[in-house]
Chain A
């Protein structure tokens, strides 16, 4: 079936260091969304990318959608302890845009 892979599975960083998570699909995506889930919480929508090569920024977070619309990345500059959580990418495919397929997630731990 359609799968969205995410790496790394875990990342531990010192506060102030940068962090990047990568998302890959074997099939072209219609769009990609990013979510953050705090420990014990539920996923919260961060952003959606639709266009090939699109780049969007939210304060210290930078989101990119690949030219082929098969990969995406989330980069956090100068991490803070409030960034702790699991970051998921989720994509829809052209053949069925009704279904959002989630990646496996990257758990970020930030040490003060």
Chain B
């Protein structure tokens, strides 16, 4: 079955550490996205990529970095510069620049301890 796999499901990080969240899709979608969701709030766009080796900042990119070396993969690194990293991180992909809807992964819940 095609879909998006995010790992790990739960992640604990010490303050000052960088951590990388994995996102893999086998849907053959060109576009991939990272969103952050805080409790009781909507989704805010961190980074997005419409094509391999290219990506753009979203609305809250500070303290995050991404890479898009392969069509299937779009990992997100939460750096120590991110002041408030505890959140639910959702990866999504779409065909044709989002027309027809996004497919989301099951998310990674990151907690800073």
Interface residues of A (CB under 8 A from B): 1, 6, 31, 33, 35, 41-45, 47-48, 88, 90, 92, 97-105, 107
Contact check, B43 vs A43: say whether CB atoms are below 8 A apart: yes
Q: How far is the CA of A54 from the CA of B101 in the complex (A)?
A: 17
How many positions in chain B have a CB within 8 Å of any CB in the partner chain? 26
Provide the residues of chain B in CB contact with A1, threshold 8 Å: 59
Provide the residues of chain B in CB contact with A6, threshold 8 Å: 42
Contact check, A97 vs B45: say whether CB atoms are below 8 A apart: no
Please choose the segment from B18-26, B68-76, B104-112 that sits at the chain A interface, where 4 or more of its residues have CB less than 8 A away. B104-112
Contact check, A33 vs B101: say whether CB atoms are below 8 A apart: yes
Residue from the list A35, A98, A102, A105 in contact with B98, Cβ < 8 A: A98
Contact check, A88 vs B97: say whether CB atoms are below 8 A apart: no
